[in-house]
Structure 1
Amino acid sequence: MGHKNETSRVTRIWNSLSYKIGSTVARYPVITIIFCLVLSAVMSIKLALTPKVSAIDGYASDDSMSRHEFKTFQQFLDSDGPGITTAILIRSSITNGSLLEEQRLKEVVKVSDFISTNFKLNVSGVEKNFNQFCRGFCQANEPVRQYYNGLQILGKNQTDGISKRIDLSYPTSNFFGRKFSLIPNFFGISMSPEGQHLNSSNLIVLYFRAERYPDWSTKTVKQWELRVRDHFAKEYSSDLIIVDVMSQTVVESEIVRAGLSLQPFLIVGFVIMSIFCTVTTMFSAVYLYSQKATFNKVALSIIACINPFMACGTAMGILFFCGVTFSPIMCITPFLVLAISVDDSFLMLHAWNRLESWRTAPLDKPMREHMMGEVLVETGPAISISAFTNMLAFTIGAITSPPEIRIFCFGNAAAIFMDMFYQATFYTACMTLLGDTKNSEGVSEKTKRIQERMGNVVGRFLKWYVNAISNIFVSFGIVLVWAVFIGFAVLGLTRLHVELRPSKFFLKDSPMLYMDRLRTNEVVPYYTPVHVIVNNPGDLTNDSNVERLVELKEKLEHMPNAIGAPSTKFFLDDFVQYRSSFAEEIEMDIAEDDSESEKSDIEQFLEWPEFSFWRGFLRFDNQTHPHNVTKFMFTTGFHGQDLKDWNKRGQLLKRWRGAVEEFKDDFNTTVFTEDAFFLDMIDSIPTVTWQTTLATFIFVSLVCFLFISDILTVMIVSVATLVTSVGVFGYLSLLGVTLDPVIMSIAIMCIGFSVDIPAHVAFHFYAAKAKKHASSHSQPSPHQVTSPDIVHSTSTTSSSDSSISTPNSFETNLNFALSSVGFPVIQAGVSTDFCALPLGFMELYMAKMFALSLTLCVSLSLIHGLIVIPALLSVQHHIVHAVKRCFGRN
């Protein structure tokens, strides 16, 4: 601990590098500005031209089960990527109107026909409609058509013969010998008094699924789905029904729209920040440093707010050039960088004004170069700690987070790095050209009196505050209140739980909000399907093998929440019945015609019209064994009001996986559900969040130690950072906020933001001790700026005592730290709150959460930096001093 008052080697190296950067940029300011503007412009063009997309699966971790299951499902479909998967939600145009009324049901069938025939895609150079390019799942909507046809026929002919051949019972109907289930298509139902037939249905769902062709791109598939959405949103009109289109593409487009809706608020944030920065900069320069109010100060304040936009444009352009895709959550990045960048500008402007107030030599070009070098020497370590800790936080977050949040983290880390680069180059060059001198000519006597009065008021307040917080009783009282604060934060943290709702990603006017509620309330509780892929079914003519597969199906059908056999589509049920019913006919056909022997039982089974739809559920080995089924899929349904809760659906998914796991060795079985990407996050989000937070906290502490070689000081900063983050999430939890991907990304952000202000205060306190220690042992090092306040305090103390007493030394160091960064960090904290303000007025969950979290994080960080850390340093000082007295050491 003997080295604790010495400037760290990293700091000395960084000071030397900072001086060289500042003086070199000041020597060539115009060239630097032109280079930065051109670089920013080129990369911003790339940003503007990059497609704005989103990916629902991007919130699932790389090693999640859902990714493996999705890949297996795509392999079953023989698709290199997802094909068309669209659901059409149809409801009556009048409240509680039944879609089973003849005209409404007829309109539903027309919608099905229209989509099947009017939206075309190119397949091998030929334009084909859905009916023509659909292969395996073309009959998903046949129950709706057959039910309508059955109603039409029964309405015209009520004879016993027809009634026996057409049975429109629920859940399974029969139309001229062909059975079909109504469960997947008809919702919001009420039953007839006898309980066998549908009385009404207020929601019908049509499904359009088509496997992807080799010449289709992901963009082609998405354009088809969006054309369907746009037609029914903008062109279709009916007095009978309302048609909504839901697909992953539609969901992603609405998420992108929500993200891009933040862009206009950037202008509002820029204006607010520019005004605040101008007013506070002008105030500090005129009334604290006796400078004139000039246009240059206004220009520097506005440039400080332009700098982060240049950084974001450059960083994102570079990332997109490197192949990184866009993510809607990246639209938050400019707000974060704006808050960080303006903080750094405040420090630089404040340092310039302070150094300018001490200057005695003329401010010629060499002097300006030296001044800019000194500005970066004084502010460089603090700015670097802030930048590196934020970059580190987001980099660690990128390593441990799912892809969509990883993009957000990479974008933030890159933008913060570019902001630090532009701060050291572009903004330094602008300060070289626009930095004002302390010329007070033309200042009115009234202004001079106000300046003098303000200087005295600030000096007296700072002295009073330092004396107060140095008092052992005051500092212990603050620490006690702080401990109570921590207790409530931890209490809130224990109540934090995961809650996933896709609606959190949409704007208030998004049709997805209603569709999500409709799906959650009317579809999911009554029919939640699971697809089971049997990747190695074995010999399907082997009775024991078939029995084992039937056992798998029945295990799922008898699970809790299972609908049972009426919801199951299992081709072996029909195939086994076919083999038993037509065994003799098959043998006779084979005996009469040898050509028939070339066809397997499966092929003959699929040639029957009523069984042909099973082709979509089967896959054959076309190379070696074209007659053998190499894979097949079956589905079964689940229901229950508790499935409205995502956590309950997550538990159901685990039960599905556990059930098929028992048969994995025999048949290599996997399950698939489109909600799995979200459901897997229920377990992964808490783990990833606390692991990322802990790893970030450790590495951020190490970065602080590189610049602050005092272990106790670093511990205080680290604890303040951790408590700020815990406080943010603890009190958000007490306010009812739940854990989700947005909150997970906010956790990473808070670690970086919470270290900024405490690090600034602690570093300057440490720097004051280091300078005082260095001045008592050696000559000042090159580029070392020494405050006249310290020199004055030292000389005053020395006149009364041959050595600086420990209490007075602590107060002097704290005074230097607060006088150096007190006003800038207040500017920074308040300006960041103003920056987040526009987001709070948006009707978007993501924006509101970032606004609330950022405001809470920065406000707590400000309290820690200006109140808690000084109190902790005071307590530390008193304890160390008491220990030394106990052991008789001075």
Structure 2
Amino acid sequence: CIQRNPLRKAALTDMARCHTDCIEKPVCAALQKLGRVVGRHPWWFFLIPLFVSAGLGSGFYFLKQAEANDIEDQFTPVGGPAKAERHLVSQYFPTNESTFTPQRLTTDGSFAAFIAVDQSGNILSEEALSEVLRIDSVIRNITVSESGHAFNYMDICAQKHGDCVPNPVLEALGNNASNAESLVFQYPMMNTKTGPVFLGMALGGVKTDDNGTVLSAKAIRVIYYLKESEVERSDVWLREFMRVFCGNDSGFEMKLNQVSYFTSLSRQDEFEANSKKVIPLFSITYFLAIFFSIVSCLRFDCVRNKAWVAAFGVFSAGLSVLSGFGLLLYCGMPFAMTVANSPFLILGIGVDDMFIMIACWQQTKVQDSVEDRLAETYKEAAVSITITTLTDVLAFYIGIMTPFRSVQSFCLYTGTTVLFCYLFNITFFGAVLALNGKREESNRHWLLCMKVPKQSPAECSKAYSLCCVGGSYDPSTGAETEHPMNLFFKKCYGPFLTNAWTKFFVVLLYAGYLAASIYGCFQIKEGIDLRNLAFDKSYIVRYYDHEGAYFSEHGPNVMVVIPEEVAYWNITIREDIDNCIGQFKNLSYIDQNLSVSWLQFYEHFAQKANININSQTSFIDNLPIFFRNFPDFKQDVNLSGDVINASRFFIQTVNINNAVAEKNMLTELREMAESCIVPLVVYHPAFIYFDQYLVIINNTIQNIAVATAVMLLISLLLIPNPLCCLWVTFAIASVIVGVSGFMAFWDVNLDSISMINLVICIGFSVDFSAHISYAYVSNKKPKVNDKAIDALYILGYPIVQGAISTILGVAVLAAAESYIFRTFFKIMFLVIGFGAFHGLAFIPVFLTFFGLCGKPSELNCEEKSRAEFQCRPNMELYNRNMVQFNNSNASLRHLNRTKMDPDCP
């Protein structure tokens, strides 16, 4: 048929009017049938979801064992380069706890630390150091017991030369503060009896003279390293350390110094405590959602009042959380703390769909049977909420592609729960609508379920009429009496928005919005600040503040590793290694004077000892002698027989005081290692967290691009208008740009937490625009302004209800004492605000600019008949009918036209 000329003309005309409903129509028909079945058997669809939810909800029994809150596992990229580098370094250079040096740790280690800040400005004064030494004495004497055996710090400390690793400043004092006046500290390297010692990690806020002599220092940091092999005993001691510091029985009171403390357990403990603090907010959220839903659905008609319907709509969202979470917990899916945000979001999605269904129910004819009313409701509403559900679910499932487990976990749980939310809306909530419809059909009171009169007796008061009379409807339409807010959108807002001057203002407003958003996108910061994983009043926040204020001058001490065999005895190879190390020193983030190379020390040692190390035998045979003189360097060479499998050097980074510096430093170091002629790997334990900077932007863009393409495909399939689908896709891009830009204005970084919210943004930015677009293109009126007004009339108030309910669902998170939950609120507020504004202002106005897209999809009857008959093999039948069509009288012409196309007027 497509090949024939008459139909080709019809096809081109149909394409010009841009309607594609090959998927939409069967979906409408299927859901209409489902609505009829639900209306016929509401109790089955009411009770079965309850039993299913109860069964799946028992999966919460496995919640404890499914919890996955390890910070490194959840908030660093899966398969990040630093994790492979750590494995390599740990394999070649295992930690030696008897000759321990902090810079050679391949992990964060097991430790406790405190920072003392002198309020007068010099921590090296005798009075200030006396307080520091008193704290040190209390800590060293902390005694705990494990399995009946008492032990203290001295029993579990990491050692060097048989003693616990000391703090260089306190060691120089000889535990006597009065020696401070006679001591001269050189910064950042101080020479001691055992060799040069780096003070950059011990003293902060340092002022020196031209010779590097310390004049004053504002802070001192004392670290107590423990044996990693003594995990259980170390953990017990560390918890006692924290108890002593936060308790009132610590035995010391600070007069001069401010003290903050931290342990290797602190970050994880405080992160896990975050989720417990947000649990009380759930009850507030659901109360607000139920309250708003009931209030917004209240009517002064005691029969048409839908307070119970609204309450059950919120309950339906709760059932979906119970079912979705329970199912995945049964399957053993990890439950990250970020998933705690999900119920707030699900509540908003479920209530939004509820309002759409109620709005469509109110458009049905009151005198029709409940089955017919529910079938019509499903026909009108279910496709719309199917579009938004598909877009939301796929947006979340696409988010599983991200390399952050915290995002993967959130997206998996939320996407599955959104699916359950949809299923419960078209079953359980549909049954609630049907049961409520039966109550309305018999004209029963919304609360007491007793029959009430439709007309108020003359002798009754207004109060009686308000409380005990109901069941009215609009005789002209047969539907329920219009809600005042629907009339507002029809009579006031719609005509105002479609006014030419208003459209011009909306275009200007959008231009300003877009300009501000794009500017903000260039201001956004990357990466998660680890202090933000704790709640605001956590003790570790103060420690991080002190660390950032006084110890940011010197950053990580980075290992430069040669991970394979090279001929170190070859002069050319040694020169290549020296050149590579020299290139590292020339980088802006590297201190040229603080690098450490065992190879350079070995060359100087050989030169002084008059030893020739230019042959393999001589080089290898003299290494033991060198290591006896410099025992620390033995840990930097992996020697097996006469083969050096790997070796490492150290370079000191400086001025790493923000995320941009961290990212640039890591990128420059790895690029330099790649460009070197000698195979090199750079590593520091902090790189595990720095890796997020290398993937966060690319993965965010990738997810958004894939999700947007999928959203476009779904819109094309379910919205019967390709051009309007492009507007929905435009809304996605526009909202994402807006949210990303305004994130920067609201001090929200682009990190794995905000990435979750941008995934949400993809789904939510579709919702409001899809509702309006679908209503617009489904409208049969010829004028674009009338179509826009009708779309706003039907869906304007439900969109406002959905937006407000969703914002209420997350509003309590604004009061949370946690960056994670506040960030969720901020971005959701932006998403819903911008999404609703697109749906209520930008998209309706922009749709009216394309009249072609707004015209009805009907061809004139002659064209349509010609197309239909041309598809038949019997051309004579086509010609005979066309002659009859053209020559008949007006009455017969109308009759034949109706037979050919019952939709024709």
TM-score bracket, normalised by the shorter chain, equals 0.7 to 0.9
The 5 Å alignment of 1:680-829 reads 680-734=691-745, 737-769=748-780, 806-807=782-783, 813-814=787-788, 817-829=791-803
Does residue 520 of structure 1 match 2:494?
Answer: no
Contact 2:89 / 2:106 at 8 angstroms: preserved in 1? Answer: no
Give the corresponding residue for 2:831: 857
Give the Cα–Cα distance (whole angstroms) in 2 for the partners of residues 267 and 26 of structure 1: 29
SS in 1 for 2:297: helix
Q: 1:108 to 1:557 in 2, by over 3 A?
A: farther
Q: 1:532 to 1:249 in 2, by over 3 A?
A: farther
How far off its partner does 1:341 sit? 0.7
Contact 1:758 / 1:869 at 8 angstroms: preserved in 2? Answer: yes
How far off its partner does 1:329 sit? 2.4
SS in 2 for 1:325: coil
Give the Cα–Cα distance (whole angstroms) in 1 for the partners of residues 670 and 234 of structure 2: 30
Give the corresponding residue for 2:384: 382
Which residue among 189, 208, 214 is the counterpart of 2:206? Answer: 189
Q: Deviations over 1:833-863 (max 9, x none)?
A: 2223212233433333332332332233223
Give the corresponding residue for 2:4: none
- Mean alpha-carbon deviation: is it higher for 134-143 or for 509-518? 134-143
- Mean alpha-carbon deviation: is it higher for 299-308 or for 341-350? 299-308
Which residue among 352, 357, 366 is the counterpart of 1:358? Answer: 366
Give the corresponding residue for 2:661: 648
Does residue 203 of structure 1 match 2:212?
Answer: no
1:832 partner amino acid? T
Does residue 830 of structure 1 match 2:830?
Answer: no
Q: 1:227 to 1:404 in 2, by over 3 A?
A: farther
Give the corresponding residue for 2:896: none
Give the Cα–Cα distance (whole angstroms) in 2 for the partners of residues 585 and 8 of structure 1: 86
SS in 1 for 2:205: strand
Give the corresponding residue for 1:633: 648
Count of matched residue pairs: 801
How far off its partner does 1:272 sit? 0.9
SS in 2 for 1:183: coil
Does residue 538 of structure 1 match 2:563?
Answer: no
Q: Deviations over 1:639-669 (max 9, x none)?
A: 34xx323212322223322333344x53x32
Q: 1:720 to 1:537 in 2, by over 3 A?
A: same
Q: 1:37 to 1:692 in 2, by over 3 A?
A: closer
Does residue 619 of structure 1 match 2:638?
Answer: yes
Give the corresponding residue for 2:14: 2
Q: Deviations over 1:98-144 (max 9, x none)?
A: 256463454465467458x869899xx99997866858999893352
Structure 2 unpaired stretches of 5+? 1-12, 96-104, 445-451, 457-461, 475-480, 865-905
The 5 Å alignment of 1:339-738 reads 339-355=348-364, 357-361=365-369, 367=371, 372-435=374-437, 436-438=439-441, 439=443, 441-442=452-453, 446-447=465-466, 455=482, 461=488, 463-465=490-492, 468=495, 473=500, 476-477=503-504, 479-500=506-527, 501-536=529-564, 538-540=566-568, 545-565=573-593, 567-579=594-606, 600-606=621-627, 608=628, 611-621=630-640, 625=641, 628-640=643-655, 643-663=656-676, 665-666=677-678, 668-734=679-745, 737-738=748-749
Contact 1:351 / 1:378 at 8 angstroms: preserved in 2? Answer: yes
How far off its partner does 1:693 sit? 2.1
Give the corresponding residue for 2:168: 144
Contact 1:697 / 1:751 at 8 angstroms: preserved in 2? Answer: yes
Give the corresponding residue for 2:279: 263
Q: 1:584 to 1:472 in 2, by over 3 A?
A: closer
Which residue among 68, 90, 106 is the counterpart of 2:115? Answer: 90
Does residue 873 of structure 1 match 2:873?
Answer: no
Q: 1:880 to 1:334 in 2, by over 3 A?
A: closer
How far off its partner does 1:188 sit? 3.1
2:709 partner amino acid? I
How far off its partner does 1:485 sit? 3.8
Give the Cα–Cα distance (whole angstroms) in 2 for the partners of residues 749 and 855 of structure 1: 12
Contact 1:556 / 1:656 at 8 angstroms: preserved in 2? Answer: yes
Give the corresponding residue for 1:253: 269
Q: Deviations over 1:41-99 (max 9, x none)?
A: 21233335533514246444446443433333343445999573436133157654625
How far off its partner does 1:489 sit? 3.8
Give the Cα–Cα distance (whole angstroms) in 2 for the partners of residues 655 and 662 of structure 1: 11
Contact 2:391 / 2:763 at 8 angstroms: preserved in 1? Answer: yes
1:358 partner amino acid? V
SS in 2 for 1:261: helix
Give the Cα–Cα distance (whole angstroms) in 1 for the partners of residues 774 and 21 of structure 2: 11
Identical-residue share of aligned pairs (%): 17
Give the Cα–Cα distance (whole angstroms) in 2 for the partners of residues 224 and 13 of structure 1: 67
Give the Cα–Cα distance (whole angstroms) in 2 for the partners of residues 456 and 628 of structure 1: 86
Give the Cα–Cα distance (whole angstroms) in 2 for the partners of residues 426 and 479 of structure 1: 40
Contact 1:56 / 1:252 at 8 angstroms: preserved in 2? Answer: no
RMSD, matched Cα: 4.5
How far off its partner does 1:430 sit? 4.1
Give the corresponding residue for 2:291: 275
Give the Cα–Cα distance (whole angstroms) in 1 for the partners of residues 326 and 189 of structure 2: 56
Q: Deviations over 1:360-387 (max 9, x none)?
A: 44x5xxx4xx655554333221111111
Q: 1:267 to 1:620 in 2, by over 3 A?
A: farther
How far off its partner does 1:191 sit? 4.6
Give the Cα–Cα distance (whole angstroms) in 1 for the partners of residues 609 and 590 of structure 2: 32
Contact 2:154 / 2:164 at 8 angstroms: preserved in 1? Answer: no
Does residue 26 of structure 1 match 2:42?
Answer: yes
Contact 1:650 / 1:682 at 8 angstroms: preserved in 2? Answer: yes
SS in 2 for 1:690: helix
Contact 1:187 / 1:202 at 8 angstroms: preserved in 2? Answer: yes
Give the Cα–Cα distance (whole angstroms) in 2 for the partners of residues 198 and 229 of structure 1: 33
Q: 1:392 to 1:475 in 2, by over 3 A?
A: farther
1:750 partner amino acid? C
Give the Cα–Cα distance (whole angstroms) in 2 for the partners of residues 106 and 618 of structure 1: 37
Q: Deviations over 1:289-321 (max 9, x none)?
A: x7254xxx4443233223333323433344344
How far off its partner does 1:276 sit? 0.6
Give the Cα–Cα distance (whole angstroms) in 2 for the partners of residues 391 and 461 of structure 1: 33
How far off its partner does 1:585 sit? 15
Give the Cα–Cα distance (whole angstroms) in 1 for the partners of residues 713 and 344 of structure 2: 27
Q: 1:127 to 1:374 in 2, by over 3 A?
A: farther
Structure having the larger proportion of residues in helix: 1
Contact 1:76 / 1:619 at 8 angstroms: preserved in 2? Answer: yes
How far off its partner does 1:515 sit? 1.8
The 5 Å alignment of 1:6-17 reads 8-17=21-30
SS in 2 for 1:507: coil
Q: 1:818 to 1:291 in 2, by over 3 A?
A: farther
Contact 1:92 / 1:104 at 8 angstroms: preserved in 2? Answer: no
Q: 1:136 to 1:148 in 2, by over 3 A?
A: closer
Q: 1:857 to 1:193 in 2, by over 3 A?
A: closer
How far off its partner does 1:396 sit? 2.2
Q: Deviations over 1:442-491 (max 9, x none)?
A: 57565379978974966764553587269672574355335434443444
TM-score (norm 2): 0.76
Does residue 238 of structure 1 match 2:252?
Answer: yes
2:400 partner amino acid? A
Give the Cα–Cα distance (whole angstroms) in 2 for the partners of residues 136 and 74 of structure 1: 20
Q: 1:223 to 1:329 in 2, by over 3 A?
A: farther
